[in-house]
Copies of this chain bind each other. A is one copy, B any other.
């Protein structure tokens, strides 16, 4: 039996977090209650504000509490480059890893006819209007190298070409610092078939 029903509820509620099983939930709940109540209060408030106020950017569909997100509304960004990604975490990854200064369009998914996910579900009609009205010089396709991500990439490539926009695709292959021995077979096969001529 448990000495405190509220503690039991907190441990249960923590399990909504990905990767948190019963043991970690217990450790987290006891840590907050015994050692970091101010941190727990800040977390509760951050959760409430984020869930209540964060919606989608009108222009790029990324998560934001503003009508237009901080990236889209930053006048220093290069509007001639538009990078299409599947999810908000891809935007974070590119912002953290690269010096990219263009804009984004976030699909919030990928084409998957079997799951009933078609172009409208990914805002591709919005993207179409945008390519027409505020035509970028280059459309950078950064969908993931999965079957569905590739199908989405081909769809995007055709959209770009219908407006005469240059489309590029980020490269895929053996990760830098990776070793062939520890790279999965399909990555090796892809890297092999998309090999480039060197001098």
Contacts and interface: CB of A to CB of B under 8 A. Distances in A.
Interface of A: 1-7, 9-10, 12-14, 16-19, 24, 26-34, 36-37, 39-51, 53-54, 57, 60, 62-66, 69-72, 74, 87-89, 91-92, 95, 104, 108
Contact of A44 (B17, B28, B48, B69): B48
A107 to B, nearest CB: 12
Given A16-B40, A34-B87, 13 more contacts: A1-B71, A2-B70, A4-B63, A6-B46, A7-B50, A13-B42, A16-B36, A16-B42, A19-B24, A30-B87, A34-B63, A44-B44, A47-B47
A16 B4 contact: no
Nearest to A44: B47
A34 B65 contact: no
A51 B47 contact: no
B51 A4 contact: no
- The 9 closest A-B CB pairs, nearest first, are A16-B39, A13-B46, A44-B47, A3-B69, A4-B64, A10-B50, A13-B43, A3-B62, A10-B46
Contact of A41 (B46, B48, B57, B92): B48
A31 B51 contact: no
Contacts of A46: 6, 9-10, 12-14
A8 to B, nearest CB: 10
Nearest to A109: B34
17 contacts: A2-B70, A3-B64, A4-B63, A4-B69, A6-B49, A7-B64, A7-B88, A9-B50, A16-B32, A16-B36, A16-B40, A18-B27, A26-B89, A26-B92, A33-B50, A34-B87, A41-B51
A87 B33 CA distance: 12
Nearest to A14: B43
B63 A50 contact: no
Contacts of A108: 34
